[in-house]
Chain A
Amino acid sequence: MSMRTLTVRIKRYVPERDRAPRWEEFKVEADPHDRVLDVIQKVKWDQDETIGLRRSCAHGVCGSDAMRINGVNRLACKVLIKSLPSDVLTLEPILGLPVIKDLIVDMKPFFDHYKSVLPYLINDDPPPTTERLQSPEERARFDDTTRCILCACCTAACPPFWGDDKYVGPAAIVNAHRFIFDSRDRGAAERLDILNDTEGVWRCRTVFNCTNACPREIKVTQAIQEVKQALLTGEVDTHSIVNIHQET
């Protein structure tokens, strides 16, 4: 495939220079097999070194380069140039979080919400002499939500979160789900109590932007609905996802 000439529109915000974000345009030659991250790096190296972005592993695992690409939240390292429908590429910081510089947002509010749901194993039972065993079914019950990389694509795609930054957001609920439905964990009641709040799961309006945005293809809305159902029935099925499937 031949090279494509892309018009890259980046929403710039340089705190020393700008009072509000403004658009800047760059022309770049890009290989169709390049990723959006490569294109940004090219612009940064060849045209404007002041462009600010976060990146680390560049392979869709660390979750640091979440940004709004052509209107939707994606990881820049996972979008191929050949997948772009047109030669205009727009890049913006994700919504709902304060912008520090260009494509970099302040992730502190996001991680505060994450911490608020106690995202760690809680089990005060006397430590067993062997490992805490778990059947394959019990492990499968929360497998989907273990894959979260905390990139904030989902939370920053959530319309209720855009309005209300006190809402814990989909990512925090996904990580609560990961422990609530873990058979080794004993903190379900505590976490459900935290999420049973105006700013907890009840703020979710099933918009599905989170599920569409997740680069790990986690069924985010489903996880949130399962937490809601646990609150409504007072029952946490830690054995298998199939059981709940049959009941509903």
Chain B
Amino acid sequence: MSVYRRGLVSRWVEGLRYGGGVGQWSWLRHRSTGLGILLYLVVHIWDTFLVIFSPASYDAIMGIYGGKFDGVEYPLLRWAFRLGELGLIASVVFHAVNGLRVILFDLSPIRAVGAQKELFWAVTALFFFIMIPVAFIVIHSLVAEPTTVTAAIMLRLDLVRSFAY
């Protein structure tokens, strides 16, 4: 008798079609953001290693992150990297906040596990609470000259910068 066993691809596709609840989507997002962050981490360790190996190459790479290649600025490249930066921050923020949700399940097998749907919405709310101002800051620096208000904030930021760097 021959039975049908699903292959790797089929299991993936069928799994994604499964109508799981918020838990399944949290799990999938946690996993994909984790993999994305790990990929960037590997690249980031290599580029930071250049700081000791070759300062000139380090500056060149940092220039590329800023949208500059060989001293010439390419607006499209700059936008691509800023959006990538936003994606990275969003990934880390989601992974961190959802990670706290997972830890809560371990600490409190009854109360937290019983409130998993509420916790999902709490994670979502906290994620947007953090990401909306962050997205504003990252995009604002690309598109706008400082207004009176933002200039005042920038001045405060310069003070912070001289301590935290």
Would you call B4 and A225 a contact (CB within 8 A)? no
**Which residues in B have their C-beta under 8 angstroms from that of A228?**
106, 109
In the assembled complex, B156 has its CB within 8 A of some CB on chain A: no
- Stretch of A39-47, A58-66, A93-101 contacting B (4+ beta carbons < 8 Å): A93-101
- Stretch of B78-86, B110-118, B138-146, B147-155 contacting A (4+ beta carbons < 8 Å): B110-118
Question: Measured between C-beta atoms, what is the minimum distance from A59 to chain B in Å?
Answer: 25
The total of interchain contacts (Cβ-Cβ below 8 angstroms) comes to 98
Would you call A206 and B19 a contact (CB within 8 A)? no
In the assembled complex, A84 has its CB within 8 A of some CB on chain B: no
Contact of B20 among A18, A212, A226 (CB under 8 A): A212
Contact of A244 among B1, B5, B11, B109 (CB under 8 A): B109
Q: Is the interface of A mostly helix, strand, loop or mixed?
A: mixed
Would you call B20 and A207 a contact (CB within 8 A)? yes
Contacts A70-B19, A205-B27; A100 near B109 (Cβ below 8 A): no
Question: Measured between C-beta atoms, what is the minimum distance from B128 to chain A in Å?
Answer: 22
Would you call A159 and B106 a contact (CB within 8 A)? no
Would you call B20 and A98 a contact (CB within 8 A)? no
In the assembled complex, A248 has its CB within 8 A of some CB on chain B: yes
In the assembled complex, B162 has its CB within 8 A of some CB on chain A: no
Contact with B along A195-218 (1 / 0, CB 8 A): 000000000011111011000000
Inter-chain CA distance A21–B108, complex, in Å, is 42
**Which residues in A have their C-beta under 8 angstroms from that of B14?**
95, 162
Q: Which of A2-30 contact B (CB under 8 A)?
A: 13, 15, 18, 20-21
In the assembled complex, A106 has its CB within 8 A of some CB on chain B: yes
Would you call A98 and B116 a contact (CB within 8 A)? no
Q: Which residue of B lies closest to A13 (CB)?
A: B4
Give the B interface residue count (CB, 8 A): 29
**Which residues in A have their C-beta under 8 angstroms from that of B22?**
208
In the assembled complex, B55 has its CB within 8 A of some CB on chain A: no
Contact of A208 among B2, B24, B106, B107 (CB under 8 A): B24
Inter-chain CA distance A96–B3, complex, in Å, is 13
In the assembled complex, B44 has its CB within 8 A of some CB on chain A: no
Q: Which of A63-103 contact B (CB under 8 A)?
A: 68, 70-72, 95-96, 98-100
Would you call A212 and B109 a contact (CB within 8 A)? no
Would you call A248 and B2 a contact (CB within 8 A)? no
Inter-chain CA distance A70–B18, complex, in Å, is 9
Would you call A206 and B18 a contact (CB within 8 A)? no
Using CB atoms and an 8 Å cutoff, list the residues of chain A in contact with chain B.
13, 15, 18, 20-21, 68, 70-72, 95-96, 98-100, 106, 157, 159, 162-163, 205-209, 211-212, 219, 221-222, 225-226, 228-229, 232, 241, 244-245, 248
Top 8 A-B pairs, shortest CB-CB distance: A208-B23, A71-B19, A225-B109, A98-B3, A99-B4, A248-B108, A72-B19, A207-B27
17 CB < 8 A contacts A-B: A68-B18, A71-B17, A98-B4, A106-B3, A159-B15, A205-B27, A206-B27, A206-B102, A208-B116, A209-B20, A209-B23, A209-B24, A219-B113, A222-B109, A222-B110, A244-B110, A248-B110
Given contacts A71-B17, A225-B106, A245-B111, 16 further A-B contacts (CB under 8 A): A15-B3, A15-B4, A18-B4, A95-B18, A98-B5, A159-B24, A162-B11, A162-B14, A208-B22, A209-B23, A209-B24, A221-B113, A226-B109, A244-B110, A245-B110, A248-B110
